[in-house]
Chains A and B, each alone.
Chain A
Amino acid sequence: MSIISEKITPADQLVSLFKQSIETLNQGSSPILNRMREVSIKRFAQTGIPDFRSEDYKYTNLKPAFEKNYRHELVRETGLINLNEVFKSNIPQLDSTLVFLVNGWFYSGNNPGAELPKGVVLGGLEQIANDRPELLENYMNRQAGLSNDPFVALNTAFAKDGFFLFVPKGVLIEKPVQVINLLSSDENLMATQRNLIIAEAGSQVKIVVCDVTLSASSILYNTVSEIFAGEDALVDVYTIQNLNNLSTSINSAFCRQQRNSNLVTGIVSLHGGLIRNNLKVTFNGEHAEANVNGISFTDKKQHVDNNTLIEHSSPNCLSNQIYKNILDDESTGAFAGRIHVARDAQQTNAFQRNNNVLLSDKARMQTKPQLIIDADDVKCSHGATVGQINEEALFFLRARGIGEKDARMMLMNAFAHEVILKINLEPLRDRIDELIEKRLNGEISRFHEQLSE
């Protein structure tokens, strides 16, 4: 599907592809999605792919990723799924309602929500936008549409499917919903996915998202999620990213919280060539609380960038952020965390911390906390550290007979532990501990290497 042409930029190519494919994009897709396309591609065309001159993308250069030639799946393809692979990426300890998507397309057709409480709607965005447009009407693109980010605009222009979850007023979903995003292609692939999560007043839900590449090809995965937490709602969203070294993930999440709602997010970037996570939380009512956390592991030439923005638009809200990175070899990382306290948002509590461990001389970390406070009665703090493994602790462990390699592993696990503890799902915590061990002992890298043989 890609266009071979000279002297035009990757952004131009994407705009041309859009123009050529507009009928395909609109076909079978709800007007709710289709009506956003033209304006979004225009917005994307105006900005193009940002480079280091853009403040938001100063530390993350996505240009090389967009210069590759990609195949696009503008229509649903079948026969892609290998169930054995699906089960491999499952979290066996976690009793969950499982759905899976392949390259951004929802493939769990057999009513995965059957065991969910009455009124809950779980499915593919494409189908539900067609069948139940009234559910999306007040939410679709209401948060993402406010963003100036070109990749979000690109996503909105091309998005056809993704996962959708609606939890009606007062409903508690006890079993976590597990969303497995499989990425698999023989050729390089640009995948677009659009998710929408609506938790109405007083509802509760925990969502576990696993992104995993199952092929050696280069995948550019552009995913946008909008999360709406109604009054008193409790929403947890945990994401595990496990992509091969040629792949790029641009993962943007927009959360809006009503009064008294509580949001917990945790993003574990286990493996991937280039990962950029954008997270925006907007408080749209008093006494709401957001705990947003992340941990990343990078080696070789990998890069992980977490970019957060907490909009304290309402008084009496609380936000906590802990982001950590463990960087080895020549890998690089970035964290930019912005907290904005609006003029009337008195009694705001906003805390942010970014701690980083460099395991090699060549690894580099850029960290940029930013507080913009327009109210006068607030408690805000931010802090960042970049350091090495604690040599005193390492010696202590070795002096008790624990070998150097094991002692280092123990200390890295301990460093990560603070973030893992924020996850309110014990089986997931245990699984992530296991995955971190596999990450640090090289097993996860070998999984990706084997796929390229």
Chain B
Amino acid sequence: MKTRKLLARIRAFFDQGAADSRESQQALREVLEKLKRKERKLRHNLDLERNPEKRSQLEQKILLVHSQRSKGLQLLKEENERDKSG
């Protein structure tokens, strides 16, 4: 197990392309995680809000963040598939 781990590290060290792709996927995951937290927070605020105008603004924000998340998840899925086929 240790040798395998070491070999993987050495391979990663020499293979810049794979490292870049991993880095990009990691960044996507990090951004998606932030968006998830943001959406959750906005939904919580919407539950507490009674003013119709402010509720409408919050709903628009939620819709926007949700669309961004869907797009991000799709991108991540595509990258994963590309990695597997490559």
Q: Do A and B come from one complex?
A: no
B residues whose Cβ falls under 8 Å from a Cβ of A? none
